[in-house]
Structure 1
């Protein structure tokens, strides 16, 4: 219990002199002893275990079984093809998971990248993972704490500990305090500083007492280090599809073999045909295509600042209909900005861009006081220190009163630091003649300690009427969700003691400031609403402030749509769940409330995305369907608990990710429906010929060749189809929705029947050219080869052309752009060229049992092949008419 020890006891126990720090040799020795200062997650899986994990899928098991059967019957080429697809799928999955983990590791380093420590008597900057127990750490505003520290020195030190405590107000620290109660809460340990928290004000020093998993952060990380991920909707859909296809494949094998045996056909030929058709009935390209599409989706999303930790989470985004978002930094810019000022002579808005503006004399005095009574810095567009003070310094820059020039000209000679009880801060600066006190703080406190006011360039007595004007104006700003900060001054001819500064001041006026919304967020919220997604703001801010931002962004329309944490506590879980759909803003909430909100929303059947950055946000991130952690402000633990990380902490990125998720699902669905239609066509052609005692229009090698041709390039090209521009104008998809919903199954069946029918027709035309019909007996091999060549061309070409129809369910290929998917056009051209080569190269033609045909036959075959595409386009016309 380091918080119960004195500074001297702590230093003696750790064996370090604070004025010198550890020696380099001792630091190295302790690093070997204690290990690196990193939070440990679950043990990393080896590449081998990741590889085999990719094979744990029913569809993969069926494919492996098919590979074994083809091996037994001697179809070695087919065996190799199937195994290659399975291996490709596994390799892609391993590569993407490994890539995602690397991205996570890179993000984790953003939390505490470096630390200032005293070693060998010098202050040096070292990587935070090299900090060891006994290191003396130097603290100043804007720095993250690299490990748990026992403070040795604190000067106006304030640390933002919301990641641990959930308390949004920075904690005041006191190095001299000692807490003897062993049950002292983390938030009350004023003599300690904790890993991954942020210094917001003042300065200090501390000695490292705990590192890595022994820190407070590490303790929580251990509790959360569980892997209890549910299957996503896509995983469930594919699992069900795999079982169904496996069952169908086995049934087809048995049915065709039994019918052929009863008809007295050659059993071995029928067995080969049945097996080939069973393999064709299973779209073995599906696992690889899904993996490729998801992997490309993850890559695209990383370019829009969203890093997805697990591939299936991309698809889950497409079902999200509620986005719960933090306000600060996600919906807003996470930087306070002065937007208005008020003096008894002037009231105006502050320009939010540009510089070189002129100000009236009284406004200049107001700004000068604010800038001189601030410790923040602002250079080259970057500020350090308290966000409120940075905003005041930026205001000075806008009005030609830069901080550096003022602090150089009017040197500070004394100060009275900010105190949460007084709500004031004062500095004493040397002026041209004498000294001047500059005070800033709550306007009501400023008025209490002021006796005069600056009016018309003169100092006049402060009347009750003047006070009332100040209070009414400040109340108006507060009602607009602005944070009000007042300023006052007094001149003196001597250096005052701190206690003397805040008496008989001259009030100048005040400013109103706000953390403004991100410019692009309003459009993103509108887009989300158009897509049937409800944005909800969750914040620790006051109700009025939260509602003002929510109203401006279009999240809420009335204050009645806002609820506070206290109001949540007053309701039972059941009542809260029933009422939750009415609310759009939750203010003054704790991390515990976030979990309650997520559960209530999920109880109403919603698919919920939740953002968070603190350790205490981790439970709500895990409870949500999609937990979204902040990459900039987020803690290691929140990133570990999340499904996705935003590298820019921006709400707009979530909306972009949802759009990407929807398009990815649609592309996967296109590929699945296309593959099933094509494979159904093959089944129909073979099964019908067997049932009606006709010759089989395709032999085993021809079936497998066509299957290879259509199950690879065209299906993958559909999987990377450009996104539908109107995808965000539709409501979120029901996660329980089947791949075959909204008529997709009917259209797939119709497409398959058409493909099978025209294949048989082409076969009949080929036989007829040789003088035979389908029902003829003892058809010679040459006639069969002609008929099968025609069927072979039509079956392959019709599937290639049909892929164009599957790009959109209602729009014609000309509306979406015939050449807008260049990959698909390329796949069709390659497929047709391969068909020409197989038929016209004698060696290949002989191997596949085919023969060259005339140009007229080619014309007939290609004409038939266009029929499924044409029929599908006609159906779309009627669908568009019905929707109009």
Structure 2
């Protein structure tokens, strides 16, 4: 019921990317039809329509531009590029180029940030680039998680084993029926059938599915505290097997905020540490001019172009708030940026006259500069000055920093000539501070971080270098290079490439599949519509909670509430801990089932009455085993878990000694149960198997007492086994150090519940148990504690072996 309920909830919440796509606003667009300007819904656009594009518009279809005037379009949700893309209708491409480089096209659902233009509709609806993405999401098949594959295989083997055991026990019982001369007694065959059913109950760990679900649910809660919202329960465990994380750059690895990180005035380089109230006069003039020559605002939220916002923030850090400096120097004119001039100028009035500031591309500014501001003195600019400025520009460009130059003119400079050069600002969307150690920790854990972005190769490499992802630009690849590769070539390339730039949505899916083809478990992060197909193609898709689109979130397995890459590292750590706990619960539960089956099978082969009846087995499997299993599932993760390499997804859950551990303790508990069962006969002076058989078959009360001892030994032994299994390689004393309260609660609850089943009138009748004498309790306790005693001996032997090896 629990599994069905959770499954239903997951189905209700399951992604439907096409529906999310449909819910994206259907904006109104301006078109020219029959020579007249009309305003229609974008859904009504058809091929051949001429669409008018203005600042602030959302593009309603894929367009081939026929006019563009300083046109900039924000395509981040489609291409992943952080800055607006400058469009040019005059361009014609002779060869295929990536989606982010098609500067003569405008795409559906992107937004115009600046300028205006005209475009002809070339594709609508599902034929648009965004529509193709939706189609690919729908076609991408769901894949099973490593844990689902393991549990499916385990269930298959257990099913076959159960069938074999049922047939075997039935055959053995029938043989004993004829040996005992009861071949004509119908009740004998009914008892044989009941015995085989009891064995079937013993062979199947009924609580396993529910316990695994509960452990995963506990993991979901823990991950929520680490800002990771899990949409699909089994993806919690998948994180623990991840060996490659393909991460979007903008906003995940970086701050998604253009920031001025360096600046230059003649003969002086500045770093971020210099951006403060005590900054020298040239730097303050540079920051003030950049801020005044912009249209951005940061007083009540961030408004404007990301580059200009960075310039205003720079001035603020130098104690030059825009409102204050605008009050002192009131803007009276603006000469907007255009793609030909590559500059923007503003003129301001102050108490002594007028001043004009011009910012833009360094080449454009230098061509118009006749003078230079040199530490408070205005003088003629020299060839040596220009060389130094270009040298600074080259230095910044090699770091993939975006460089802007500033000059000014004392007066109204409408012609933008004879300017006074001030300096350069260099900016980038910098890495998140917490992402750098996160990448390092993931590397220590054997997990490769791969950057996939729509940005340019140089910018991507620069950021990757800062993060420690990539140190050689030859380990970077572009989408256009991927387009020329075969599947096998790409499969080989991903073994070394750590940065993929200027990639299309199709490229992202190809990259994910190439890593998977190499045997990796792949996590993919993303926020845009363009990321949705790759999020679904990955073993685990991780969407951004703040900047992520509904389509991306719908295709993902989990969502980062804070858009922070460092949260992925914490989630991976949690995933590893959860898988480790699930392994412990599987070993624990199957060890119990092995003990039940072996004890039942051995005694039935000997012709003795079954030591456990069906209700005993159900009680142990569903109650006294489930509580310890849940407690094991709630254990804190090992502190050194991120020092280990990712587990091989092809290896079974019993790898690295898991099978030996499960069988070993199963056999130990089997011996304990059988000794307790025989002890009741010994106490009643029956010292041989035939004597015990005669005693138990002739005296139901003594049989019930023997079964009660076996039942209680099994239940108590599992509780002591839980303590050992909580840390298979350490002494049980660790539980007192770690203060694992759930283990104590499960242990005490298990003891009390078992005691009530035996001693409480009415309940004992239901379970066919018998009150135990003091000596019976003592034997039961000694047999129950034996697994923990054996555990301590094994730990000691391993410790002495390691100590000897070190010597």
TM over 0.5: same fold?
Answer: yes
Tell me the distance in 1 between the aligned counterparts of 2:711 and 2:57. Answer: 68
Deviation (angstroms), 1:245: 1.0
Q: Report if the CA contact (8 A) 1:614-1:635 is conserved.
A: yes
TM-score by length of 2: 0.86
Q: Partner residue of 1:364?
A: 284
Q: How far apart, CA to CA, are the structure 1 residues paired with 2:101 and 2:455?
A: 22
- 472-481 or 637-646, which deviates more: 637-646
Matching residue of 1:276: 198
SS in 2 for 1:582: coil
Q: Report matched runs for 1:296-311 at 5 Å.
A: 296-311=218-233
2:36 aligns with: none
The corresponding residue for 1:288 is 210
Check the 8 A contact 2:491/2:514 in 1, yes or no: yes
Alignment equivalent of 1:662, drawn from 556, 567, 576: 576
Distance 1:829 1:385 in 2: 63
Residue correspondence of structure 1 range 132-171 to structure 2 within 5 A:
145=58, 158-164=72-78, 170-171=84-85
1:761 Cα deviation after fit: 0.4
Report the equivalent of 1:328. Answer: 250
Task: Report the equivalent of 2:690.
Answer: 775
1:229 aligns with: 142
Residues 167 and 732 (structure 1 numbering): CA distance in 2 closer, same or farther, change over 3 Å? closer
Change (3 A) 1:383 1:483: same
Q: CA deviation at 1:314?
A: 2.2
TM-superposition CA deviations, 1:334-365 (whole Å, max 9, x none): 11111222112533223388x5x133222222
Question: Which structure 2 residues correspond to residues 444-455 of structure 1 after superposition, within 5 A?
Answer: 444-455=363-374
State the distance in 1 between where 2:671 and 2:233 align. 39
Deviations 1:611-632 (A, max 9, x none): 2333333343333322333333
- Residue 316 of structure 1 and its aligned partner are, at CA, apart by 2.0
In the superposition, relative to structure 1, how do residues 205 and 479 fare at CA in structure 2: closer, same or farther (>3 Å)?
closer
2:660 alignment partner in structure 1: 746
- 1:244 is matched with 157
Offset at 1:434? 3.2
Matched, 1:714 2:602: no
What is the match of residue 723 of structure 1? Answer: 637
1:673 to 558, 576, 587: 587
The structural deviation recorded for 1:210 is: 12
Aligned residues between the structures = 770
What SS is found at the alignment partner of 2:410?
strand
Cα distance in 1 for residues equivalent to 2:122 and 2:368:
44
Which consecutive unaligned segments of at least 5 residues does structure 2 have?
A: 31-40, 46-50, 181-187
- Mapped partners of 1:188, 1:597: distance in 2: 19
1:209–1:403 CA distance, 2 compared to 1 (3 A): farther
Is 1:553 aligned to residue 472 of structure 2? no
The equivalent position to 1:815 in structure 2, one of 725, 734, 738, is: 734
1:166 Cα offset (Å):
6.3
Which structure 2 residues correspond to residues 116-127 of structure 1 after superposition, within 5 A? none
Aligned pair partner of 1:505 in 385, 399, 419: 419
Q: Paired residue for 2:553, among 632, 639, 664?
A: 639
TM-superposed deviation, 1:489: 0.8
1:426-478 deviation digits (Å, cap 9, x = unpaired): 12222323322211112222111111111232221111111011111222222
Q: 2:447 aligns with which of 529, 533, 541?
A: 533
In 1: Cα distance, 2:726 partner to 2:24 partner: 47
Quote the residue 1:31 is aligned against.
none
Residue in 2 aligned with 1:464?
Answer: 383
SS in 2 for 1:379: coil
Instruction: Identify the residue that residue 611 of structure 2 maps to in structure 1.
Output: 697
- In 2, Cα distance between equivalents of 1:811 and 1:547: 45
Q: Cα distance, 1:189 vs. partner?
A: 11
Q: Say whether the 8 Å CA contact 2:80–2:453 is kept in structure 1.
A: no
Seen in structure 2, the aligned counterparts of structure 1 residues 663 and 552 have a Cα distance that, compared at 3 Å, is same
Tell which deviates more after alignment, 406-415 or 248-257.
406-415
Distance in 2 between the 1:132 and 1:640 partners? 23
Conservation of the 8 A alpha-carbon contact between 2:13 and 2:231: no
Q: Determine the structure 2 residue equivalent to 1:64.
A: none
Matches within 5 A, 1:401-440: 401-440=320-359
Is residue 2:177 matched to residue 1:261?
A: no
Distance 1:550 1:877 in 2: 47
Partner of 1:840: 759
State the distance in 1 between where 2:737 and 2:682 align.
Answer: 36
Q: Distance in 2 between matches of 1:217 and 1:703?
A: 57
Moved more, 768-777 or 727-736: 768-777
Aligned to 1:648: 562
Give how far 1:851 is off. Answer: 2.1
Residue 645 to residue 838, structure 1, CA distance change in 2 (3 Å): closer
**Contact 1:377/1:393, CA 8 A, preserved across alignment:** yes
Alignment CA distance shift 1:192-1:328 (3 Å): closer
Deviates more, 1:778-787 or 1:334-343: 778-787
Distance in structure 2 (CA, Å) of the matches to 1:680 and 1:848? 22
The residue number in structure 2 matching 1:338 is 260
1:347 aligns with 2:260: no
Hey, what's the Cα distance between the residues in 2 that align with 1:864 and 1:140?
83
Per the alignment, do residues 845 and 595 of structure 1 end up closer, same or farther by CA in structure 2, a change over 3 Å counting?
Answer: closer
Question: Take 2:530 and 2:584, find their aligned partners in 1: how far apart are those partners?
Answer: 41
Shift of 1:222: 4.2
Equivalence for 2:517: 603
Offset from partner CA, 1:826-848 (integer Å, 9 cap, x none): 22212211221122123333333
Q: CA deviation at 1:697?
A: 2.1
Structure 2 distance, partners of 1:154, 1:429, is 30
- Superposed counterparts of 1:179-194, under 5 Å: none
Distance 1:717 1:96, change over 3 A: farther
Residues 209-236 of structure 1, C-alpha deviation per residue, up to 9 Å, x if partnerless? 9999898745642453235112222222
User: In the superposition, relative to structure 1, how do residues 519 and 614 fare at CA in structure 2: closer, same or farther (>3 Å)?
Assistant: same
Q: Secondary structure at the match of 1:329?
A: helix
Change over 3 Å in CA distance of 1:504–1:570 after alignment to 2: farther
* Structure 1 position 481 matched with structure 2 position 404: no
1:852 has 2:774 as partner: no
Partner Cα distance (2:780, 2:488) in 1 = 65
Distance in 2 of aligned mates of 1:575 and 1:817:
55
Residue pair 1:166, 1:591 contacting (<8 A) in 2 also? no
SS in 2 for 1:842: coil
Query: Higher mean Cα deviation, 315-324 or 299-308?
Result: 299-308
Q: Deviations over 1:239-263 (max 9, x none)?
A: 1111211111122122112211211
TM-score (norm 1): 0.78
Q: Provide Cα deviations, 1:352-389, integer angstroms capped at 9, x if missing partner.
A: 88x5x133222222112101111111126x42221111
1:214 and 1:586 map into 2 onto residues whose CA distance is 26
In the TM superposition, what are the counterparts of 1:213-224 in structure 2 within 5 Å? 217-218=130-131, 220-224=133-137
1:701-747 CA-to-partner distances (Å, cap 9, x unmatched) read: 33333233334222222223222222211111111111111111111
Whether the aligned pair in 1 keeps the contact of 2:62 and 2:128 (CA below 8 Å) is no
SS at the partner of 2:157?
helix
Residues 531 and 149 (structure 1), Cα distance of their counterparts in 2 relative to 1, 3 Å cut:
closer
Seen in structure 2, the aligned counterparts of structure 1 residues 165 and 843 have a Cα distance that, compared at 3 Å, is closer
* 1:231 counterpart SS class: coil
Structure 1 residue runs of 5 or longer lacking an equivalent are: 1-86, 119-129
**CA shift digits 1:32-61 (9 cap, x unpaired):** xxxxxxxxxxxxxxxxxxxxxxxxxxxxxx
- Give 2:744's aligned residue: 825
